[in-house]
Each structure stands twice: as structure tokens, then as C-alpha cells.
Structure 1
Amino acid sequence: MKVVVAGAGRLGTQIAQVLGAARNQVTLVDQDEGRVAALEGRVPAELCLGDACEPAVLEAAGAHAADLVVATTGEDEDNLVVSLLAKRQFRVPRVIARINDDENAWLFTRHWGVDTAVPAAAPLVSLVEEATSSSDTVALLRLSKAGVNVIETTIGPRSRAAGHTLADIAVPHGIVVATVVRGGDPLAPAPDLELREGDEILVVSHTADQSEVHAVFQ
């Protein structure tokens, strides 16, 4: 699946991490030169410097061939412009947009090219189904066409993984750690990264379910 993510903030970067780790072809667009430079080599995605509200930038990012565009900037106006361009000019089949201000939610409809609107307060990658609060391990997203699950688990005070590096943890075949979120910031899943209480682990898998992921990290 070819994906363009507009906005390389926390949410956009994490989405790029997850979808890139699931072997999707992802391009992450942002107009902040420093932010783009800081992400070089840290996300499994192509980086594109520019304003995604400009058609030429979206085209350079591959919107003309994209299966999915995700607008995750911090400005609702920008997310609506990106969505409208993606749908009307580039005929992107699926467009997802972040709502920053709830008062603007009424605008995020198909009239503006938005297929799915995601409130800013929603959990990461709850693009298809909201995470429940009943478990520390929840399936956040199923990429039905690819048969890929995206699963989140949080390292608790009794988690066996706390204090161990990713290299120390026996992760079964078929489970890939996409990113570790610590204090709101995504971290590259390097083998020497030591896990701490409160870390959010995002994994992708074609085969594992929530209970299997829970058994690995809890």
C-alpha cells in the first residue's frame, strides 16, 4: 500500500513508523526543515520537505499513486486542504484527517474529501477502531487488505520486559516492533533500547494477536 502522511509531528511520525514497519511504501511530508532533518534515518519512510497544502508538493510525495493519504498537521485548515486536494485532484481512494479542534469536526466530511476523521484526543492509530481502556494491550488497526494487525502494549510496573533491551526479549517470528513511545516521543526500535515502565510498544504482525503480544512484553 502506498501512503502519504502530511505532517511529521508526533502522530504523523508514529503513523509512518507503524505503516512503514508493516511493509507499506510511506512518504512523510513536512515543511519544517529541521524536523525533516531530525527524522532522517529514524523512520521507515521517504521524507519530503514542503507544504502539503501545495499540489506540487503532494504530487512530488506520490499522491497521484497513493492508496491512502493521512493529514495529521496541527492545523485543521491545512488538514482539510490536504484532504480536498488528495480526493478531488489526485483521486486518492482513502483519506484520513486529524481534527485538532472539536468545534471544527462538522467540517471533516466527504464534502472536504475526508473519509475518516480522527479526533486529536483519540489514541494513536485508532483510525479504524478506538482502543478500549479495559486492557493494556489492544488491537488498534487492522489493515484488512494486507492482513496486518497493529497492536499496542504498555510496559507496566510488573512487566518482565522492563529494564531489558529489545535484543534481550525473545520476540516470536512474525512480530515486528515498529516503535517505542516514551513520554510522547517515538523512539527508533534499536536492539540496545532499554524498555522502561510506561513505554508504549507498537508492533505489527500478520499472525499474532493481543494475547501473544501481551505474553512477550508483560
Structure 2
Amino acid sequence: MKALIAGAGRLGTQIAAALAASGYEVVLVEQDDEQLAALAARPVGRVMPGDACEPTILEQAGVRTADLLVAATGDDEDNLVISLLAKRQFAVPRVAARVNDPDNGWLFDQWWGVDIAVPAAAPLISLIEEAGGVTDTVSLLTLGKAKVTLIETAITERSRTAGHRLADVELPPGTVVATVVRDGTPMVPAADTALQAGDELLVVSTAADENDIHGLFQ
């Protein structure tokens, strides 16, 4: 399975790391020099410099053989253009797109080639407070064909796994913690990684849902 991620910011690199951990061949397309330099320090797949709004760049990145494209730039117009190109010109089976401005959410539908609209706030769940508590676990997206779900959970001071090693958490079969984001920096965790309040975990699973992951970590 091949995935093309347009935009190598926080969401893009998180998804790329999760897909790579689940066996995807990942290509990241990015035009910003600072982001490209950051990718060189923490590679999560093949990197294609360039503007993903350009069909020739998408072709060079392998869009014609991609099973999934994620438009994860910080610009809604770019994400819509990328999604439309992916679906209409290159017939990518599954297209997900980041919605940066909630007012633009109504545009992110199949008319623009978007199968999955991903709210920009979704990965920042540790900062989202609701009446009665904190929303600590959300399902970011489900890749229907591959039956893989990407789930994020935030470790807080109230989480029972805070201070415990990742090895102490008995994960269900087909489930892996692909990325731990600590102080804004994503890393691939080891079994002896001690979880801390403020950590955001990106979990890849073929069986567990967000309720299962919440029960394990919270």
C-alpha cells in the first residue's frame, strides 16, 4: 500500500509516521525549506520537494499508484486543489484533507474529491476542553480499504498510564503506538519509553477503536 502526504507539518508527519509503522510506503511532498530541513533530521518516508498543487510534482511523487492521499497543508485552498487533482485527474482511491478554517468545512466533500475531512484541531486534543472534562481520545480517520484506524490519545496528569512505560500497556493485537509527540516534537517510542503528562500518542490499529484506546491509556 502506498500513501502520499501533501504537507509535512505536524499533522502530516504524524500521519506519515503512523502509516509507515503500519507498513505503508510513504511519500511526503513539501515545499517549505524549514520543513524539509526538519524532515531530514527525522525522516518518516521518502521526501519530494515541491508544490503539491502542481500535477507534475504529484506525478513525480507517485500519485498514479497511490492508494491514499492526504492533503495536510496549512492552506484550505491548497488542500482542495490537491484533493481535486488527486481524485479527478489521478483517480486516487482514498483522499483525506485537512480543514484549517471551520467555516470552510462545507467545501470539503466529494465534489472536491474529499472522502475524509480532517479538522485541523483534531490532533490537538490535549488542548480541547469540553464541559465536564477533557476530550482525551479521538479517532482521526479510518482507511476503509485497509481497515486501519488512526487514533490519538493525550496523556494528562489524571491518566493512569502517566509515569508508566509503554511496555506496561497491554495493547490489543494489530495495535501499535506509532508516534509520541512530546513538547511539539514527534518521536518513535521504544518499549521503555515512559509516558508523561502532555504526551500525545498516535495509535494505529486494525481492531481497536477510540473507546478501547481510551480505556487502555486513560
TM range (shorter): 0.7 to 0.9
C-alpha distance in 2 between matches for 1:37 and 1:79: 22
- CA change 1:21–1:32 in 2 (3 A) is same
- CA change 1:66–1:118 in 2 (3 A) is same
Higher helix share: 2
Residue range with higher mean Cα deviation, 77-86 or 200-209: 200-209
Q: TM-score, normalised by structure 2?
A: 0.78
Number of residue pairs the alignment of both structures matches: 210
Q: TM-score, normalised by structure 1?
A: 0.78
The one-letter code of the counterpart of 1:169 is D
Matched with 2:39 is 39
Paired residue secondary structure (2:123): coil
C-alpha distance in 2 between matches for 1:106 and 1:174: 34
How far has the Cα of 1:138 moved from its partner? 4.5
How far has the Cα of 1:74 moved from its partner? 0.9
Matched with 1:157 is 157
Q: Report Cα offsets for 1:149-191 as digits up to 9, x if no partner.
A: 333332232444323444x535446431111123444333245
Deviation beyond 6 Å, 4+ runs, structure 1:
none
Structure 1 segments unaligned to the other structure (5+ residues)? 127-132
Q: Report Cα offsets for 1:96-151 as digits up to 9, x if no partner.
A: 22222234334334333333333323x1399xxxxxx8864444443333333333
Give RMSD over aligned pairs: 3.0
Aligned sequence identity (%): 58
Residue range with higher mean Cα deviation, 23-32 or 204-213: 204-213
Matched with 1:124 is 123
Matched with 2:129 is none
Q: Report Cα offsets for 1:73-115 as digits up to 9, x if no partner.
A: 1112211221122122212122222222234334334333333
The one-letter code of the counterpart of 1:64 is R
The one-letter code of the counterpart of 1:36 is L
- CA change 1:211–1:100 in 2 (3 A) is closer
